[in-house]
Structure 1
Amino acid sequence: MLTVVLIVNALIALLCLYVAWQVWNLRRVLANVADTLISVERNTYAVLHGAPNAIIKGQRGTRQLRKQYRQLQTQLQRAEQVLGLLSLGQTAWRRRSTVVRRFKP
């Protein structure tokens, strides 16, 4: 009977030792995962920390470029009108010159 108790005790001790070893391994793995997550969080923060300011700066730049584009578009329309008038004037001048040459004696 004593032998059975000792064997059962030894088996329980081995089982507890195995469970303790598994828990220790799990703790080690969880510690590594936690360290990795902390590192990822720090790197993400370092990369994205300045993002809001950069986005705001980009939005301001885009707004300014759109304003300049509208102004340039207006100037382009005016230049096209002027060139159209000059072309019309040139065409009229050529026709006038042709008509004057025909009627010159």
Structure 2
Amino acid sequence: MVTVVVAINILISFMLLFVAWQVWQLKKRIALLSDRLLQYEQCSHNLLHNAPENIYLGQQNILNLRQSNQGLQTKIQQIRQIVSLLLLGQRSWGRYVRRPSSLSGKQQSVKSVKA
């Protein structure tokens, strides 16, 4: 009977030793995972700690570009209006002013066709 109890105790001891070894292996894996996560956190912190400043600076640059673009758009609109007025003036001037060289050229070509 004593041998059966000793054998069961030895069996239980080996099982507990195996469980302890598995827990120890799990502890090593968790420590490795923890170290890796800390490294990832440090890298992401190094990358992103200036992000709010950079975002704010980018927003300011975009605002400045929009304001300068708005000024350029008004200048482009004014230039288009001036060009359209010049073209309208050129067309109007061409209707009221006869060009003698173009009329004489047409008359000569009509005379040469009749002859």
Flag whether TM exceeds 0.5 (same fold). Answer: yes
Aligned length: 101
Which one-letter code corresponds to 1:8 in the other structure?
A: I
Counterparts of 1:3 and 1:81 in 2: how far apart (Å)?
Answer: 112
Counterparts of 1:71 and 1:59 in 2: how far apart (Å)?
Answer: 19
Shift of 1:84: 0.8
Shift of 1:2: 1.6
DSSP-derived class of the 2:9 partner: helix
Show structure 2 runs of 5+ residues with no match: 104-115
**CA deviation map 1:23-58 (0-9, x unaligned):** 101100100110011011001101111111110011
Match of 2:35 in 1: 35
DSSP-derived class of the 2:97 partner: helix
Counterparts of 2:87 and 2:42 in 1: how far apart (Å)?
Answer: 65
Which one-letter code corresponds to 1:39 in the other structure?
A: Q
Calculate the TM-score normalised by the size of structure 1.
0.90
Shift of 1:96: 2.2
Shift of 1:89: 1.3
Match of 1:59 in 2: 59
Counterparts of 1:68 and 1:28 in 2: how far apart (Å)?
Answer: 60
Taking only aligned residues, the RMSD between alpha carbons, in angstroms, comes to: 1.4
Show structure 1 runs of 5+ residues with no match: none
Match of 2:96 in 1: 96
Match of 1:69 in 2: 69
Residue identity over aligned pairs, in percent, reads: 40
Counterparts of 1:29 and 1:87 in 2: how far apart (Å)?
Answer: 81
Calculate the TM-score normalised by the size of structure 2.
0.82
Match of 1:20 in 2: 20
Counterparts of 2:2 and 2:90 in 1: how far apart (Å)?
Answer: 125
Counterparts of 1:13 and 1:53 in 2: how far apart (Å)?
Answer: 61
Which one-letter code corresponds to 1:70 in the other structure?
A: Q
Runs of 4+ in 1 over 2 A off after TM superposition: none
